[in-house]
Amino acid sequence: MIAEQAAAPLKGIRVIELARVLAGPWAGQVLADLGADVIKVENPSGGDETRGWGPPFITSAEGENLSAAYFHSCNRGKRSITVDFTTAEGQETVKALCRTADVVLENFKVGGLAKYGLDYASLSTENPRLVYCSITGFGQTGPYASQAGYDFIIQGMSGLMSVTGDPDGQPQKVGLAVADVFTGLYSVIAIQAALAHAAKTGQGQMVDMALFDVQSAVMANQAMNFLATGKSPNRMGNAHPNISPYEVVPTSDGHLILAVGNDGQFARFCSIIEHPEWASDERFLTNRSRLENRTILTTLISTETSKRTRAELLNACAKNAVPAGPINKIGEMFDDPQIVARQLRLDLEDSHGSSIPSVRTPIIMSQTPLTYTRPSPRLGEHTADILQQLKDASE
């Protein structure tokens, strides 16, 4: 079992999550794993829409539908309260929660919560220390600020799809919502920085997070390649724009990833496939020359790797310190002995006798380890407890 701890890093921090789908809930889940008390406010008529985004669904020991697997991917560790804040009573309940909070996390359209008095300007007057993180598609300013943002569209607009996929096929999105996940993670970074500032000064602040900003910023070396040359990079399939050979290669029984990053690794790989002379060939002598002659080199390497099994090549590469790896299905990933040893999979018992599978946050801390004390909540599961706590606090 993953060790529990008495003093998680964010123990004592309360987060009110007015968010749904992925970016906001992902941030909320990480904050919960770090020990924060995350209260997820959901609409009584169905809650977070991802509860219905299935199949597949997670079921209880008795066969009860416990919401879609999608919902459980990003809502672990939270308490759920159902509140209709389109009503005056519901608005007062959420405001009361926010008066007790350190952080509010929301992903409504720009200005969408102002009419309920749940925007930063309204809430911060009663709670000056409040850190208010707003996640939108395009941020609080700019010509697109009023538009809704969707991960798929953001992947296209940011240039990510222009460098993803086969050069002769359609532009491709990544196989999961990376703009949402990255935005959730950057939001956690910003929230923690704002909490540090509030602890020093007593002053909270507004955190303005935009999917378009985030996905454009994480284009990393591809963005810098453009800034250095003025030329937009193109799709290259599995090839790397700056390194060769760094790609998928065929074997006699499948494919593997070859990730040669320097001349020494290349020389050792050439010996593995019984062509040590390639390492001294002027066409392949340096990474620059290998890039210039990538097409020829790829053909030569593929011819040789096709004669060998995947296991044979992976074993030889491992013994000779040549970076290479398998291309796993997700089930194979969970069975990988490294993943098993690192305990990435969690099975969390709920208070109703059911076990809910999950994937831990990939952070290990020696003094303040993360906490995994509850699975994703059932809709409104903690409403009565949270309302009672508010009542007790007001008396």
Q: Which residues carry out catalysis?
A: 180
| Type of residue numbered 292 | E
Is residue 133 within 8 Å of 103, Cβ to Cβ? yes
User: What is the strand order of the sheet 254-259 is part of?
Assistant: 246-251, 254-259, 324-325
Comparing CA positions, the residue from 23, 45, 34, 119 lying closest to residue 78 is 34
